Amino acid sequence: MEKYICVKDLENAALDLLPKATRDYYKSGATEEQTLAENSTAFRRLRIRPKCLVNVERTDLQTRALGNYVSMPVGISPSAMQRMAHPDGELANVKAAEAHGTIYILSTIATSSIEEVAQAAPKATKWFQLYIYNDREVTKSLVARAEKAGFKALVLTVDTPLFGIRRADIRNQFTLPPHLKLANFDGHLSTKIQSTKGGSGLNNYVSGLFDKSLTWDAIKWLKSITSMPIIVKGILRPDDAVKAIEAGCSGILVSNHGARQLDGVPATIEVLPEIVEAVKKYNTEVYLDGGVTTGTDVYKALALGARMVFVGRPALWGLSVGGQAGVQKMLDIFRTELEYTLQIAGTPSISDITRDMVCHESVYCKL
């Protein structure tokens, strides 16, 4: 693992290793992939404004999320079907998160079950990403299993009345390989994704399963069946963030689904400040995912108000390259880069990172 010194190294190695359909599934975005590119380039339009002659002999990356201690403000986002990247799949990812003392979010459409993940890393802080199915009994069962298995929160994805148009998956007629299944389900729901009907097996899977009639009342229903706090994932508007809190949510995950839903929406880092401002009076934690590939990206998101960030594709690249060791290497890279950034920027702890540490490039382009 020593030869990998940045996340881009892991990505390049993973893309060389993975079969085409899997590679395209993991790396692609919706339609023209404009937002996929913007998720990363928007970070590069932000400038860090370092302070000098600050005592940075001791740096502290620790923070808390929903009261849970985390060793650094970088967790692992939910990504579907991780055993396509490595035989250990989700189990390797959650073990890496446990080893680093950070948060792992398990996808509903995972290739390892809720119970398998809980058993693999009993000490990890685990959150469960949830879709609400037309059959509410399916959803109730998933929630009850996650709560029983010790998951600490639900991460309700709210940007998917259906999955977006991902051209690579259609061209590849993407399906889950036949030796794998969606492990949180039995019978038809575990294997339906292996039927393409001439298109994407994933889009075929959700057809008729996801509830397109959902409104904010769904939050009240969820709160009636669980005591776990609810985080909403997929928020890109301040007014939606406020509606989520008023409905009873405990956290906001600013996300555009890895740019895989609707092309042309903003990069997540672009909308983060206005969402943080909108919910400030509620004292609600705001998180971010999308486009984060370096420690300086993490720093910029923290300066703009995120409590922590979550990374999806970087975890998949590490997983593809080396299983648990590869994911741990990915987290090591983020930790090292973030430590360096804190020290050179003159902010020895996470709490020292304030809004004035970052500005848009336009501030310096007025000549």
Q: Which two tokens stand for residue 66?
A: 């929903």
How buried is residue 1: exposed, middle or buried, by Cβ count under 10 Å (0-12/13-18/19+)? Answer: middle
**In this structure, how many other beta carbons lie within 10 angstroms of the beta carbon of residue 292?**
28
- How many Å is the Cα radius of gyration of the chain? 20
**Which amino acid type is present at position 171?**
R
| Annotated catalytic residue, options 100, 188, 257, 360 | 257
**Which amino acid type is present at position 148?**
K
CA–CA separation, 56 and 232 (whole Å) = 36
Q: Which two tokens stand for residue 324?
A: 């648990």
Angle (CA) 292 228 116, round 5°: 70
The reply to whether 100 belongs to the active site is no
Contact indicator for 168, 203 with CB cutoff of 8 Å: no
Per DSSP, the residues of 130-169 read E--BSSHHHHHHHHHHHHHTT--EEEEE-S-SS----HHH
Which residues are catalytically annotated? Answer: 257
